[in-house]
């Protein structure tokens, strides 16, 4: 990743390597801080690009494609791919800001041990995401629009 750090950040660090995050998400630093605080998470966050996330997704998960969010436990870190997040937001008819908040909470919950491999786990995680997002004024992403 190229340098783009914003420095210490609520127990972790925020690094923005793709300028589009700042261009498309108003007050992105504040949003990240609020989302992590709502989820009681002290992870570092990297707001990066599809190419970086694709490379890491292949290296660490054997999947040769970008994904919206990757989480790492040691050290705790959440990485988000701008292009993937923007495409999903457009497809789902929501703002990049709302989708970013959702994915930050989603990543934080993974770091807290939540999973979504099975229907019961997925429901539990979705309910917790909706609860935390409501604190941020973000609509429940699981309710049909």
Q: What is the CATH number of the domain that holds 26?
A: 3.40.390.30
Q: Using the 8-state DSSP alphabet, how is residue 20 labeled?
A: H
Report the pLDDT value the prediction gives residue 144, as an integer from 0 to 100: 72
Domain assignment of residue 140, yes or no: no
Domain assignment of residue 37, yes or no: yes
Domain assignment of residue 88, yes or no: yes
Left (φ > 0), alpha (ψ -120 to 50) or beta: where does 15 sit? beta
Residue 38, domain extent: 5-135
Q: What is the tally of structural domains in the chain?
A: 1
Domain assignment of residue 38, yes or no: yes
Domain assignment of residue 22, yes or no: yes
Report the pLDDT value the prediction gives residue 12, as an integer from 0 to 100: 84
Four-point Cα dihedral 27, 28, 29, 35, nearest 10: 110
Q: Report the distance separating Cα 16 and Cα 6, nearest Å.
A: 7
- Identify the residue whose tokens are 């699981």: 142
Domain assignment of residue 145, yes or no: no
- Identify the residue whose tokens are 């994904």: 67
* 17 contacts 4 by C-beta, under 8 angstroms: yes
Domain assignment of residue 115, yes or no: yes
Report the pLDDT value the prediction gives residue 117, as an integer from 0 to 100: 87
Q: What is the pLDDT along the chain (145 residues), one digit of tens a residue?
A: 334 555 556 678 999 999 999 999 999 999 999 999 999 999 999 999 999 999 999 999 999 999 999 999 999 999 999 999 999 999 999 999 999 999 999 999 999 999 898 899 999 999 999 999 999 999 999 887 6
* 115 contacts 121 by C-beta, under 8 angstroms: yes
The partner residues of 44 in beta bridges, in order of sequence, read: 77
Domain assignment of residue 105, yes or no: yes
Six token digits for residue 29: 């630093």
- Identify the residue whose tokens are 């770091």: 111
């Amino acid at each position: 990743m190229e340098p783009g750090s914003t420095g210490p950040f609520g127990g972790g660090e925020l690094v923005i390597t793709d300028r589009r995050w700042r261009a498309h998400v108003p007050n992105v630093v504040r949003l990240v801080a609020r989302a992590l605080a709502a989820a009681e998470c002290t992870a570092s966050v990297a707001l990066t690009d599809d190419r970086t996330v694709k490379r890491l997704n292949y290296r660490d998960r054997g999947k040769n494609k970008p994904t919206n969010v990757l989480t790492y436990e040691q050290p705790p870190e959440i990485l988000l791919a701008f292009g993937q997040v923007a495409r999903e937001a457009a497809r789902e008819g929501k703002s990049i800001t709302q989708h970013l908040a959702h994915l930050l909470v989603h990543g934080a919950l993974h770091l807290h041990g939540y999973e979504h491999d099975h229907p019961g786990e997925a429901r539990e995680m979705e309910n917790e995401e909706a609860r935390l997002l409501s604190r941020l004024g973000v609509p429940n992403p699981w309710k049909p629009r």
